[in-house]
Amino acid sequence: MSKDWILVRGVVEQGHQVASGISEDTPFPKGTIEIQKPFFKDLGLDLSELFNGTLNISISPNKFIISNPEFTFLNVKWIDTYPPENFSFSCCQIIFAGNRYDGFVYYPHPETKITHFQNPSTLEILAPFIPELQYGTHIELKIDSQEIMLIE
Protein backbone atom coordinates (compact mmCIF):
# COMPACT_ATOMS: atom_id res chain seq x y z
CA MET A 1 0.00 0.00 0.00
CA SER A 2 1.36 3.42 -0.93
CA LYS A 3 1.83 6.16 1.62
CA ASP A 4 -0.28 9.30 1.63
CA TRP A 5 2.41 11.63 3.01
CA ILE A 6 1.55 14.97 4.55
CA LEU A 7 4.16 17.47 5.65
CA VAL A 8 4.11 18.68 9.25
CA ARG A 9 6.42 21.27 10.73
CA GLY A 10 7.64 20.80 14.25
CA VAL A 11 10.21 21.70 16.87
CA VAL A 12 12.52 19.29 18.68
CA GLU A 13 11.78 19.37 22.39
CA GLN A 14 13.16 17.65 25.46
CA GLY A 15 11.26 14.57 26.56
CA HIS A 16 11.33 12.66 29.82
CA GLN A 17 14.71 11.12 28.82
CA VAL A 18 13.55 7.70 30.00
CA ALA A 19 13.45 6.16 26.50
CA SER A 20 17.18 6.88 26.10
CA GLY A 21 18.09 6.17 29.72
CA ILE A 22 19.79 9.53 30.31
CA SER A 23 17.31 10.79 32.91
CA GLU A 24 18.89 10.90 36.36
CA ASP A 25 15.84 9.32 37.99
CA THR A 26 14.97 6.64 35.43
CA PRO A 27 14.49 3.07 36.63
CA PHE A 28 15.87 2.00 33.20
CA PRO A 29 19.56 3.02 32.93
CA LYS A 30 19.80 1.33 29.50
CA GLY A 31 16.66 3.16 28.40
CA THR A 32 13.29 1.71 27.56
CA ILE A 33 13.88 1.59 23.80
CA GLU A 34 16.96 -0.62 24.09
CA ILE A 35 15.01 -2.99 26.35
CA GLN A 36 11.92 -3.00 24.10
CA LYS A 37 13.62 -3.46 20.70
CA PRO A 38 14.08 -7.27 20.98
CA PHE A 39 10.38 -7.67 21.81
CA PHE A 40 9.35 -5.63 18.77
CA LYS A 41 11.77 -7.60 16.58
CA ASP A 42 10.24 -10.89 17.74
CA LEU A 43 6.84 -9.44 16.75
CA GLY A 44 8.06 -8.52 13.25
CA LEU A 45 9.44 -4.98 13.51
CA ASP A 46 13.23 -4.66 13.44
CA LEU A 47 14.30 -1.29 14.87
CA SER A 48 17.95 -2.25 15.39
CA GLU A 49 19.29 0.47 13.04
CA LEU A 50 17.53 3.25 14.96
CA PHE A 51 18.79 5.27 17.93
CA ASN A 52 17.97 3.95 21.41
CA GLY A 53 15.85 6.92 22.36
CA THR A 54 13.02 9.00 20.99
CA LEU A 55 13.08 12.27 19.15
CA ASN A 56 10.27 14.38 20.59
CA ILE A 57 8.68 16.68 18.03
CA SER A 58 6.13 19.28 19.07
CA ILE A 59 3.59 19.93 16.32
CA SER A 60 1.67 22.43 18.47
CA PRO A 61 -0.90 23.86 18.09
CA ASN A 62 -1.82 20.71 16.15
CA LYS A 63 -2.59 17.44 17.87
CA PHE A 64 -2.66 13.94 16.45
CA ILE A 65 -4.58 10.68 16.67
CA ILE A 66 -3.09 7.34 15.70
CA SER A 67 -5.92 6.00 13.54
CA ASN A 68 -4.62 3.08 11.47
CA PRO A 69 -0.97 2.38 12.30
CA GLU A 70 1.13 0.04 10.23
CA PHE A 71 2.06 -1.97 13.34
CA THR A 72 0.21 -2.46 16.61
CA PHE A 73 1.44 -4.85 19.28
CA LEU A 74 -0.86 -5.64 22.17
CA ASN A 75 0.03 -6.75 25.69
CA VAL A 76 3.80 -6.51 25.28
CA LYS A 77 5.39 -7.62 28.55
CA TRP A 78 8.76 -5.97 28.00
CA ILE A 79 9.75 -5.79 31.69
CA ASP A 80 8.73 -7.82 34.72
CA THR A 81 8.13 -4.86 37.04
CA TYR A 82 5.36 -3.21 34.94
CA PRO A 83 2.14 -4.50 33.42
CA PRO A 84 2.05 -5.23 29.66
CA GLU A 85 1.68 -2.28 27.30
CA ASN A 86 0.25 -1.70 23.84
CA PHE A 87 2.42 -0.05 21.18
CA SER A 88 1.73 1.31 17.71
CA PHE A 89 4.17 2.37 15.00
CA SER A 90 3.70 4.36 11.81
CA CYS A 91 6.40 5.04 9.19
CA CYS A 92 7.57 8.63 8.97
CA GLN A 93 10.33 10.68 7.42
CA ILE A 94 12.34 13.43 9.07
CA ILE A 95 13.55 16.18 6.77
CA PHE A 96 16.40 18.23 8.18
CA ALA A 97 19.29 20.18 6.63
CA GLY A 98 18.51 18.85 3.16
CA ASN A 99 18.54 15.21 4.29
CA ARG A 100 15.73 12.69 4.74
CA TYR A 101 15.77 10.13 7.54
CA ASP A 102 13.34 7.21 7.67
CA GLY A 103 11.87 6.34 11.03
CA PHE A 104 8.72 5.50 12.91
CA VAL A 105 6.24 7.36 15.02
CA TYR A 106 6.44 5.44 18.30
CA TYR A 107 3.20 5.40 20.24
CA PRO A 108 3.00 3.62 23.59
CA HIS A 109 -0.75 3.62 24.18
CA PRO A 110 -1.49 5.91 27.14
CA GLU A 111 -4.26 3.64 28.42
CA THR A 112 -1.66 0.92 29.13
CA LYS A 113 1.17 3.14 30.41
CA ILE A 114 1.62 3.91 34.07
CA THR A 115 4.07 6.84 33.83
CA HIS A 116 5.71 9.39 31.50
CA PHE A 117 2.74 10.56 29.46
CA GLN A 118 3.24 12.79 26.42
CA ASN A 119 1.53 16.00 25.44
CA PRO A 120 -1.05 15.28 22.66
CA SER A 121 0.91 17.71 20.45
CA THR A 122 4.17 15.75 20.79
CA LEU A 123 5.10 12.97 18.39
CA GLU A 124 7.73 10.53 19.62
CA ILE A 125 9.94 9.41 16.75
CA LEU A 126 12.37 6.51 16.47
CA ALA A 127 15.00 7.42 13.89
CA PRO A 128 18.71 7.12 13.20
CA PHE A 129 20.85 9.35 15.39
CA ILE A 130 21.04 12.84 13.87
CA PRO A 131 23.92 14.60 15.69
CA GLU A 132 23.09 18.13 14.51
CA LEU A 133 19.63 18.15 16.08
CA GLN A 134 19.21 20.14 19.28
CA TYR A 135 16.29 21.21 21.41
CA GLY A 136 14.52 24.06 19.67
CA THR A 137 15.54 22.95 16.15
CA HIS A 138 12.78 23.32 13.56
CA ILE A 139 12.28 20.29 11.34
CA GLU A 140 9.81 18.92 8.84
CA LEU A 141 8.19 15.56 9.28
CA LYS A 142 6.30 13.49 6.74
CA ILE A 143 3.59 11.31 8.23
CA ASP A 144 1.10 9.01 6.54
CA SER A 145 -2.36 10.60 6.70
CA GLN A 146 -3.91 7.13 6.32
CA GLU A 147 -2.34 6.16 9.65
CA ILE A 148 -2.20 9.39 11.67
CA MET A 149 -4.89 12.07 11.75
CA LEU A 150 -3.89 15.66 12.43
CA ILE A 151 -6.24 17.85 14.41
CA GLU A 152 -5.72 21.55 13.78
Supply the pTM of this predicted model.
Answer: 0.89
Question: What is the Cα–Cα distance from 95 to 15, expressed in whole angstroms?
Answer: 20
78 vs 57: CA distance, rounded Å: 25
Contact 92, 104 (CB under 8 A): yes
pLDDT band at 23 (very low <50, low <70, confident <90, very high): very low
pLDDT digits (tens, 9 = 90+) for 80-101: 888 999 999 999 999 999 999 9
**Chain segment 96-146, per-residue pLDDT in tens:** 999 999 999 999 998 887 665 578 899 999 999 998 999 999 999 999 999
Structural domains of the chain sorted by starting position, each given as residue range(s) with its CATH number in brackets: 5-151 (2.40.30.30)
Distance CA 53, CA 10 (A): 18
Work out whether the CA dihedral 142, 145, 146, 147 comes out positive or negative.
Answer: positive
